[in-house]
Amino acid sequence: MLRVISGSAKGLKLSTLEGMNTRPTTDRVKENLFNIIASYIPGSNILDLFAGSGSLGIEALSRGAESAVFCDQSEQSTEIITRNLEHTKLMDKSEIFLGEAQIILKKLSQLSKKFDIIFLDPPYKKEIVPGILQNLENSGVLDEKVLISVETDIEDQLPQEIGTLCVSRQQVYGKTKLTFYKRK
C-alpha cells in the first residue's frame, strides 16, 4: 500500500492499480526523490506523466506545490488518481488528462501550461524516455528553471543531453535509477 510521506496529506494511504502492469514507486525511492527536490517544490507547477496512481504528483501537492497535472493513458489509472486526489483533498489543485503522453503534451502546449517539475515514470525497458524528453523540449511546456525527474530501470540507457536539457544528477536505488534533467 502506498502512502503520502509528508505534508498536508501525510500518512494517508493511496489506492493503486491491481496487477503486474504497473510498478508504483517504492516508499524508499519516493522519499529519496523528494529529499533531493524539496527546495524546488513550494509554489511549483507539477506535471506527472505516466502518473499511474498519482503518487508523485500528490506527494508534491502535499508538500506545497501550487498545482499538478496528472496524465496517463489508462482509464483505470485516471479513476485511481481521481479517487486518491479526493481522499487527500487535493483535487482543487489538480487536473487529470487521459491519453498518450505526446497527445497530452500538445494539449498542454495549446493551453499555454508551463511546468517547474516534471515526473516521468514510464514503463521500464521500453526505450521511450529520449522521445518523451524531446517532445517535452519541443512542446513549450518547460519553465525556464525546469527540473525533470526520470525513473527507470538501472539498465535503461538515457541521453546525457537532449536539446537544452542535460543530466544534472543520477541516483541508483537497487534496480531503480533516478535521473534528473535541468536546462543547460
Domain residue limits at 61: 2-183
Q: What CATH number did the domain enclosing 175 receive?
A: 3.40.50.150
- pLDDT of 65-84, one tens digit each? 999 999 999 999 999 999 99
Domain count, the chain: 1
Q: Predicted confidence band at 21 (pLDDT cuts at 50, 70, 90)?
A: low
Q: Which residues are bridge partners to 140 per DSSP?
A: none
20 or 104, which is more confident? Answer: 104
At 76, is the secondary structure helix, strand, or coil?
A: helix
Among 49, 50, 47, 79, smallest CA distance to 60 is for 47
Q: How many CA atoms does the CB half-sphere of 119 hold within 13 Å?
A: 31
What pLDDT is recorded for position 20?
43
- pLDDT of 97-107, one tens digit each? 999 999 999 99
